[in-house]
Amino acid sequence: MPVYQATVSAPVNIACIKYWGKRDTKLILPTNSSLSVTLDQDHLRSTTTSRADASFKQDQLWLNGKVDEIKEGGRLATCISEMKRLRREFEEKNPNEPKVSRVLVPAIMHAHLLQISSFHVHISSVNNFPTAAGLASSAAGFAALVSSLAALYNLPATPSELSLISRQGSGSACRSLFGGFVAWQMGEKADGSDSYAVEVAPREHWPDIHALICVVSDTKKGTSSTSGMQRTVETSPLLQHRIKHVVPERMKAISKAILEKDFDTFARITMQDSNQFHAVALDTDPPIFYMNDVSRSIIALITEYNRASVESGGKIKAAYTYDAGPNAVIYAPKENIKEIVELIYSYFPQTEPFKDPFGLFGAAGPKGKVVDGFNAAVAKPFEAGAVKGLIHTRVGDGPRKLGAEEALLNAEGLPTVLA
């Protein structure tokens, strides 16, 4: 029996212009466009194997080896059924074409190949980073899910077309269908057919953009972004102004900055938009807070780091941005990352050694150090563990098809990784 299976990995993305608010909660259509940087899968990724088989009794999905229920009418069910629909349409249009990836299918075609859209699927998905890190794992997860089904089904769909479906799993997942710098165009149509992701520039255009993720401890359970953003839509008077007047301008300006590799403008808009997203969260009733005192201190450090540079005739060196949680993501040109790590170390002593994927530090690792002109009094140093980890990565590529040796389902169609 042939095995109809594909394995794909997909990246995390972190927005510079934030998505916050839906105009349609079922189709996941946003109230404003957004723009993100795709991070390198060498460091952070979600990997998914999908298999279709006539013997499967039902669609099943495992996340990190644990069953994740596919609820009827839920987001997982929507993505899977939409991908089956695309496969069905493909089968109907191409009755004589091979229907699954040549790599995975024996040269001899089987009659039931025509019907794999009607098979149940088994899907096994693994994140290589802790879900608890609050790193928008759902974006990478749904992008990998949709991409692995597209590969399994040998669909000719473009990333933008697939993004229409991953969007219905998790809005920001549509942006993980591309590498580099990616815009999610909000669209206008009620059916969502014009609300998809497009590439602003590939990673190769500006590979110098690196990212440092500061994983911040928080004892408080935050408001989920799904419920939080709808409360903002319903209650924040300021959100409407942001949607109508602020975001459209910023989308144009930051796209231009990316095309011109103008880090100064890119950084200013990124920080302003992070702050405005948290401002409209605070303008919500009751208010929503995602940043804590540690997050605020990281903002103070980066603000001072930039001030010291600009006032001595230099440029903006780094940009912070915060999603719906206390973690900071700091974007900076590669040449500044070493200084930034040392700056973070001086205020947030680390308990774990720094994984140094780009070899910036010797065996001794980073030390706490501030740069010339930096006013060390802008923030008080925290106890060790307030920032519980630093991850250094960079702008990355889009979903990757992986070989059979990386499959996450075993011969029986069960996950190779167990929780």
Per CB under 8 A, residues contacting a second copy are 219-220, 237-238, 240-242, 245-246, 268, 271-272, 275-276, 278-280, 282-287, 289, 292-293, 296, 299-300, 303, 379-380
Strands 34-38 and 13-17: antiparallel
Residue 331 beta carbon to a second copy: minimum distance, rounded to whole angstroms: 16
Q: Measured between alpha carbons, how far is 406 from 9 in angstroms, rounded to an integer?
A: 10
First to last CA, the chain: 29
Residue 135 beta carbon to a second copy: minimum distance, rounded to whole angstroms: 22
Kindly tell me which of 128 and 230 has the beta carbon lying closer to a second copy: 230
Q: Kindly report the number of other CB atoms within 10 A of residue 169's CB atom.
A: 25
Give the DSSP H or E segment for 199.
Answer: strand 197-201
- CB 18, CB 273: distance < 8 Å: yes
Residue 270 beta carbon to a second copy: minimum distance, rounded to whole angstroms: 12
Q: Measured between alpha carbons, how far is 186 from 184 in angstroms, rounded to an integer?
A: 6
Strands 4-11 and 45-53: antiparallel
Residue 62 beta carbon to a second copy: minimum distance, rounded to whole angstroms: 30
Kindly tell me which of 93 and 245 has the beta carbon lying closer to a second copy: 245
Q: Kindly report the number of other CB atoms within 10 A of residue 372's CB atom.
A: 7
Q: Measured between alpha carbons, how far is 47 from 394 in angstroms, rounded to an integer?
A: 19
Kindly tell me which of 28 and 247 has the beta carbon lying closer to a second copy: 247
- CB 35, CB 181: distance < 8 Å: yes
Q: Measured between alpha carbons, how far is 354 from 203 in angstroms, rounded to an integer?
A: 25
Kindly tell me which of 279 and 384 has the beta carbon lying closer to a second copy: 279
Assigned token pair, 409: 């389902």
Kindly tell me which of 90 and 289 has the beta carbon lying closer to a second copy: 289
Kindly tell me which of 78 and 292 has the beta carbon lying closer to a second copy: 292
Residue 50 beta carbon to a second copy: minimum distance, rounded to whole angstroms: 39
Give the DSSP H or E segment for 87.
Answer: helix 75-93
Residue 287 beta carbon to a second copy: minimum distance, rounded to whole angstroms: 5
DSSP percent split of the chain into helix, strand, coil, nearest 5: 35, 20, 40
Residue 212 beta carbon to a second copy: minimum distance, rounded to whole angstroms: 19
Kindly tell me which of 223 and 255 has the beta carbon lying closer to a second copy: 223
